[in-house]
Amino acid sequence: MKKILQFPLIRIVIAVLFVGLAIVLGQMLLNLLRTALSITNPAIANALAFVLITPLTYFAYVFYVRWFEGRTATELGFSNAWKEFGIGALIGFGLFCLVILVLWLMGYYRVTSFELVTLTLFGSLLGAFVSAWAQELIFRATIYRITEEWLGTWWALIISALLFGLIHLTSAGATFVSALAVALEAGVILGAAYTLTHRIWMALGLHMAWDFANDGIFGVGIAGQTGAKLTGLLQATLNGPKLFTGGNLGVEASILTLIFMLLAGILILRIAYRNGQFVSRRKQDPATA
């Protein structure tokens, strides 16, 4: 077993399987509860998903790290977790607000109504957290981390970002161009956040806050699998050239999002480099290369 685990790709596959199975189990339990209790409210469903999927995936990942890598999962350590999470959340929310502000100034974003439903807003926040948590465990804590140990920071950043973009091809109406945009936007900045701290929390906060702003606040979110428009705290319209509005794919496909997030990601990477957080490619044993 130890010889097998010397191969980084095998470690990635095993870790992803552990987290993936925990997600599937959590989703199955969620579906059973929703059916048994006749739960149709998305906010309550998101709250249940938070209670079920978050701990299941956490312990699945910790179990993998403990038993297969023989170490403590320092990337999930709670020291300074709130600080890093908060900084990430401020960056994610601030970047989304910046995109919306520019679209509003250009006349493409217009608020039509305001609807404060506390339960809906809280449900959107929990839904954004669960989605971001699961993705960060897989793409940053697993794929990025192990690839960085194997090939170094630059390759880890490139590979994890491209895979993150490819997974978004499953979204309704997604194209190769939109997937590449996600890779350059979210893939780079989230990888940069992990590089800076080598812990999950900053990337998690950034990811969650961006999704929450998109889905729960500004009323321009697009449901991943169906492509249906999501309603948030603000009911709004987004009309204008697809280059700026993102068209049917939403703000995440906007050229503004690409520019702002890529620049922010490069800035974070620069800080990480100055702080000595970059990892060089390790020398490989021919048997495990």
Instruction: Note the pLDDT tens digit of each residue in 191-205.
Output: 999 999 999 999 999
Q: What is the pLDDT of residue 169?
A: 84
Q: For strands 234-238 and 109-114, give the pairing.
A: antiparallel
Residue type, 130: V
Contact between 216 and 124 under an 8 Å Cβ cutoff? The reply is yes
What's the total number of domains in the chain? Answer: 1
What is the percent of the chain where pLDDT is above 70?
91
Residue 128 lies in a domain: yes
Residue 28 lies in a domain: no
Residue 269 lies in a domain: yes
Residue whose tokens read 């938070």: 50
Which strand (E) or helix (H) includes residue 278?
A: none
- Distance of alpha carbon 223 from alpha carbon 229, whole angstroms: 6
Residue 217 lies in a domain: yes
Quick one: residue 271, left, alpha or beta (phi over 0 = left, psi -120 to 50 = alpha)? alpha
pTM equals 0.91
Highest mean pLDDT (candidates 103-107, 164-168, 173-177): 103-107
Residue 54 lies in a domain: no
Q: What is the pLDDT of the chain when averaged over all its residues? A: 90
Looking only at Cα atoms, what is the longest distance across the chain?
63
In which domain, by residue range, is 246 found? 80-274
* Residue 287 confidence (pLDDT) above 50: no
Residue 98 lies in a domain: yes
Residue 271 pLDDT level (bands cut at 50, 70, 90): very high
Q: Which tokens hold the place of 96?
A: 């989304």
